[in-house]
Amino acid sequence: MAAPTGLLTRTVAGALLGRSLINSLLRPTCVEPCRGMAARKGIRKEKARKRTKVEIQKVVFDPLSQRSKKNQVAFKPKMDDDLWRPVPMDDVYPFKYFQQPKYSFEEAVQCHRETHDPTMYNRPDALLKLVVELDLHGERKTKFLEKLFGLVDTPHPFDQQIKRTIVVFTKNGDDKNKALAAGASVAGGSELIKGIQSGDVTLRNVDFVICTPDILSELVPLRGVFKRAYPSTKQGSVTQNTTDAVRRFLNGIEYIVEKDDREPEFGWFECNIGTLNMPTENLKENMMAIAKDLISKAPPKKQEPILWRLFLSSPPGFEKFKLDLFPLFGIQEYSIRKRRKPDTKEDKPKVTMPKESEDDAEKVAVSQ
């Protein structure tokens, strides 16, 4: 009996459909990326790195001697005078081609007062600074002065616009009150020393320490705390009269000489000597007190004076007026300009041979 036609076609279609489903399930799937999708940022950087060529530079051998010459900075000596330059004959001249003019102390102060007039800087009460340049040669040319500093008692005190911390150690109760009234920051006795040792009392940025001789032995454990401010008889900080010592250290002019390792024979410092509205004589006496203190610290057998040059300046102005030392101290400015060795052929001195005499010429003719 033959199968119906519709049933046969249905069976064949079902078999074909099932095979196609099975094949589609067993076939591996792959998703192709779209052409519009951008690459990751890291991939783009890596490709760009591969495209760029890295040029390896060869390091040329540099000897140590040549290396030091390349890294060496041109050194300009600070202790260099201008006495070899001509003296200006006119009021208007190129400053760098002529000697710097010298002024008396009164003329220099008057010049600063004119520049600080209300019509210009408008600072009639500005501080007057003394710029000191020193010759630090010792008794021998190879020896130099070291660690120059001091505190000068000013004949005419003024407001230096500096806050100083002064500590006074004394066993007398009246001296403590007088020292505090004179301007000391802290004053005490044995109880203050114990408080500093235990840590109950902290003292920071102490400028000066004054004590009486009877309590000096108790301050020995605090030598490392006070360091440079530790009292000594040489500085005058060990005294019975603590009140006068507080006033002297509070109003005195302190100076510390600065030096350059490459130029040990030269030293300099700046300090205030007063204000422009003070009388000129008072300013001059303050300056003379500093100069006398410096001269007293020079070695007795030093050949040349320790004072080399003095200038007066006053902020905010940049003018520096050179003082004439001869009327003040009887010191004549001397030349210490360093002559460097000739480096080029043009700098080398010309050597002239001596002319031959007639006797030498006759000897040469006979020998020939």
* Number of residues assigned to the chain: 368
CA distance 289 to 283: 10
What residues make up the domain containing 110? 96-158+253-329
Higher-confidence residue of 9 and 340: namely 9
Same domain, 103 and 219: no
Residue 125 maps to a domain? yes
Residue 153 maps to a domain? yes
User: Is residue 226 a contact partner of residue 165, using CB atoms and an 8 Å limit?
Assistant: no
CA distance 272 to 161: 10
- For residue 194, give the CATH number of its domain: 3.40.50.790
Higher-confidence residue of 357 and 280: namely 280
Identify the band that residue 111 occupies on the pLDDT scale cut at 50, 70 and 90. very high
Residue 231 maps to a domain? yes
User: Does 32 have pLDDT greater than 60?
Assistant: no
Residue 317 maps to a domain? yes
Give strand pairing partners of 156: none
- For residue 109, give the CATH number of its domain: 3.30.190.20
Same domain, 220 and 193: yes
Same domain, 224 and 274: no
Please, what is the end-to-end C-alpha distance for the chain in angstroms? 158
User: Does 169 have pLDDT greater than 80?
Assistant: yes
Same domain, 196 and 233: yes
Residue 154 maps to a domain? yes
Q: Which of 23-32, 109-118, 151-160, 175-184 has the lowest mean pLDDT?
A: 23-32
At 317-329, the pLDDT tens digits run: 889 999 999 888 8
DSSP conformation letters of 226-274? HGGG---TTTT-B-S-HHHHHHHHHHSEEEE-EEETTEEEEEEEEEEEE
At 37-74, the pLDDT tens digits run: 555 666 777 777 777 666 777 766 666 656 566 556 67
User: Is residue 323 a contact partner of residue 288, using CB atoms and an 8 Å limit?
Assistant: no
pTM to 2 decimals? 0.68
**Domains contained in the chain, number:** 2
Same domain, 153 and 269: yes
Residue 246 maps to a domain? yes
CA distance 255 to 291: 11
pLDDT at 130: 96
Residue 4 maps to a domain? no
User: Does 224 have pLDDT greater than 90?
Assistant: no
Residue at which a domain ends, from 223, 250, 277: 250
